[in-house]
Amino acid sequence: MESAGTRRQIMIGAAAAALAGTAAHAAAPPRRVEVFGHRGASALRPEHTLASYAKAIADGADSIEPDLCCTKDGVLIARHENNIVETTDVARRPEFAGRKTEKTVDGQKVTGWFVEDFTLAELKRLRAIERLPQLRPQNAAMDGRFDIPTWQEVVDFTAAEASARGRTIGLLPELKHSTYFRAIGLPLEDRLTGSLSQHDYLRRAPIEIQSFETANLRAIRARIGRPSNVRLMQLIEANAAKPADVVAAGAGPSYAQMATPAGLAEVARYADVIAPPVRAIIPLGPDGRLTRPTALVEDAHKAGLLVHIWTFRPENYFLAADFKNANGDAARNEAGSIAEMRAYIATGVDGIFTDDPGLGRRALEG
């Protein structure tokens, strides 16, 4: 009887052959593709809550992703951005009405309530809400159940889950708005790297530190060297925009330049992983259907980089036209999501971010 791992490798090879139209891809050597719980299992629980991370782990995620921002009193917390109006009930809290303000963050003017204006004790009085209630009403029904976890709480929770389940669970912290937070006296990098030696689990579990900026990753590499359990992941956008730190410095590459062979070679000097959006790997045509894969995966591998792509979501709204069904944009489409992930896995990527790690695991293992 074939093992699960054997069946998985056969599936990956077969999918590659179907996509490329050649039998040569079916003979590709076995490789490990990792499943990352994007903001936990955010298709099934409100994002960046312990409930979301718990669901991702239960459904087989290799690693979970906590995005990190910093409170007024210097504590790292798990939020996708510093403006918490879309993911907490702060707008419904009269005691915090006076904290609403407008700020410029990463070059964009935004209005709302910002974590750096709250102490941790104040933030702990808020409750998480669903960011996409129209698409994920089942998550919106959980509004008010969960609080905002700190980085330390996420680490402790992950360590406990790993011990209980008898398997290692990785952590992929993303540093959000690094240049912005450093400018207001709350640098994220110092706090994160300091924590790596303060917790036994962080000294041995797989860690990938992510950022859309570059200077912070370079500084972290210089500070921590190359510990065996820590990778650095350079996130890139699929356009000609530049990272916030490059804009602030007035010089440096755009994301498009970083995705060239020369740019990838430079990234490999300080990072281990390049992380583009999925459509940078297989773009969509004018009809919304998949076209041919780009050379990005091959070029990145030649530069010595792993390729981790973001983000797969199971609702029709997010799927390529190839995989949508007739049930409407908000419909959950498991078969379509699995088929889409398999098409991208076949290009040779090394890891996938998904809002539904259970579907990601099914895409790999059948």
CA–CA distance, 271 with 317 (Å, rounded to integer): 33
What band does 4 get if pLDDT is binned at 50, 70 and 90?
very low
Asked if the peptide bond before residue 311 counts as cis, ω within 30 degrees of 0, the response is yes
Rounded to an integer, what distance in angstroms lies between the CA atom of residue 237 and that of residue 282?
14
Q: For the segment 146-205, what is each residue's pLDDT rounded down to a tens digit?
A: 999 999 999 999 999 999 999 999 999 999 999 999 999 999 999 999 999 999 999 999
The pLDDT of residue 300: 98
Residue type, 62: D
**Structure tokens that stand for 101 in this block:** 């303000």
Angle between helical axes of 4-20 and 357-365 (0-180°, round to 10):
80
The residue range of the domain holding 332 is 4-365
Total of domains in the chain? 1
- What pLDDT, on the 0 to 100 scale, is given for residue 223? 96
Q: What Rg do the C-alpha atoms of the chain give, in angstroms?
A: 20
Phi, psi of 274 (to 5 degrees): -110, 135
Where residue 140 sits, what CATH number does that domain have? 3.20.20.190
pLDDT of residue 30: 65
Phi, psi of 176 (to 5 degrees): -100, 135
Here the tokens at position 140 are 């919106």
What pLDDT, in 10s, does the model give residues 69-122?
A: 999 999 999 999 999 999 999 999 999 999 999 999 999 999 999 999 999 999
Whether residue 59 contacts residue 33, with contact meaning beta carbons closer than 8 Å, is answered with no
Q: For tokens 């906590």, what's the residue?
A: 66
pLDDT of residue 253 exceeding 70, the answer is yes
Question: What values do phi and psi take at 114, rounded to 5?
Answer: -120, 140
Helix (H, G, I), strand (E, B) or coil at 249: helix
Q: What is the SS3 assignment for 155-224?
A: HHHHHHHHHHHCCCCEECCEECCHHHHHHCCCCHHHHHHHHCCCCCHHHCCCEEEEECCCHHHHHHHHHH
Rounded Cα gap, residues 224 and 208, in angstroms: 13
pLDDT digits (tens, 9 = 90+) for 122-162: 999 999 999 999 999 999 999 999 999 999 999 999 999 99
Where residue 31 falls among pLDDT bands split at 50, 70, 90? confident
Q: How confident is the model at residue 1 (pLDDT cuts 50, 70, 90)?
A: very low
Mean pLDDT computed over 289-318: 98
Indicate whether 26 pLDDT > 60.
Answer: no
Cβ pair 133, 106 in contact under 8 A:
no
Q: Which pLDDT band holds residue 349 (cuts at 50, 70, 90)?
A: very high
pTM: 0.90
Nearest-5° Cα angle at 58, 130 to 333: 55
How confident is the model at residue 29, as a pLDDT?
54
On whether the CB atoms of residues 208 and 273 are closer than 8 A, the answer is yes
Give the pLDDT band of residue 238 (cuts 50, 70, 90).
Answer: confident
Q: What amino acid is encoded at 221 in this protein?
A: R
Reported as a pLDDT band with limits 50, 70 and 90, residue 20 is very low
81-92 per-position pLDDT tens digit: 999 999 999 999
Place of tokens 């590499």: 221
**Average pLDDT of every residue of the chain:** 93
pLDDT in the model for residue 16: 43
